[in-house]
């Protein structure tokens, strides 16, 4: 997938970022650029994304899991040049997605369901959807499973439950995988570029599962 060239030079007069100037600066630069590459992949799918917070603020308790700025929803973009400007201004190890109408995709949380089972059920129904595992902050609690759908609002209001499935609220940030095979967010079925399924299709399949299979039998 094509994306614009990486930018690592500081703008004239800009303060150097501490992320890039530590003794382990080379490894950190690679993490930043890896996240940038993932952001461009998502932008190529039409998803609106923005940099995550890197934990450099005293109030940050969960680096890479929330946006870097309160303006995140307005800044989230699928434009490659705009993404490069964001990463140049705020080098980040994580990618945050905005979801809902006009954002390229939405998400359903399959709470407590094991991902191999969810993949098998979706495949049996002929549904191909990206599926992501998201670990609990600091490992405190079970992981959550997200199935990505098209951007149309699901028939279940955000936060309400259909069986074990809830709709991710569009006003809340959604962390996306930003590293190759590592990190708190990981793809178990990565996006392929094919059209995303409708939320109603996924709900019809997963919403009826109830308590058949839980994360911790």
Q: What is the token pair recorded at 203?
A: 């709900």
Element (DSSP H or E) covering residue 80: helix 80-89
Q: What is the distance between the alpha carbons of residues 191 and 130, in angstroms, rounded to a whole number?
A: 5
pLDDT of amino acid 55: 58
Radius of gyration of the chain (CA): 18
Report domain extents, the chain. Answer: 20-97, 106-168+180-206
pLDDT of amino acid 10: 44
Q: What is the pTM of this model?
A: 0.79
pLDDT of amino acid 156: 64
- Nearest alpha-carbon partner for 96 in 15, 34, 177: 177
Q: Longest C-alpha distance within the chain, in Å?
A: 59
pLDDT of amino acid 138: 57
Per-run averaged pLDDT (10 residues), the chain, 217 residues: 45 45 72 93 97 66 66 94 95 91 92 87 95 78 88 67 76 88 86 94 80 34
- Nearest alpha-carbon partner for 160 in 109, 100, 101: 109
Q: What is the distance between the alpha carbons of residues 130 and 34, in angstroms, rounded to a whole number?
A: 20
């Amino acid at each position: 997938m094509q994306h614009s060239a990486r930018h690592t030079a500081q703008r004239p007069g800009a303060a150097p970022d501490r992320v890039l100037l530590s003794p382990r600066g080379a490894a950190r630069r690679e993490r930043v650029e890896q996240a940038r590459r993932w952001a461009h992949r998502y932008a190529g799918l039409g998803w609106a994304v923005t940099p995550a917070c890197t934990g450099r603020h005293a109030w940050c308790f969960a680096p890479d899991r929330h946006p870097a700025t309160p303006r995140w929803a307005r800044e989230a973009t699928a434009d490659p040049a705009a993404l490069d400007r964001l990463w140049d201004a705020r080098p980040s190890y994580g990618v945050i997605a905005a979801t809902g109408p006009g954002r390229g995709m939405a998400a359903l949380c399959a709470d407590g369901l094991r991902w191999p089972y969810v993949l098998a059920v979706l495949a049996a129904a002929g549904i191909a959807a990206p599926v992501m595992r998201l670990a609990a902050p600091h490992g405190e609690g079970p992981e959550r499973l997200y199935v990505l759908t098209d951007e149309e609002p699901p028939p279940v209001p955000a936060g309400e439950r259909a069986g074990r499935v809830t709709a991710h609220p569009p006003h809340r940030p959604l962390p996306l995988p930003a590293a190759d095979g590592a990190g708190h967010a990981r793809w178990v079925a990565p996006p392929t570029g094919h059209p995303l399924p409708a939320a109603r299709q996924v709900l019809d399949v997963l919403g009826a599962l109830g308590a058949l299979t839980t994360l911790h039998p």
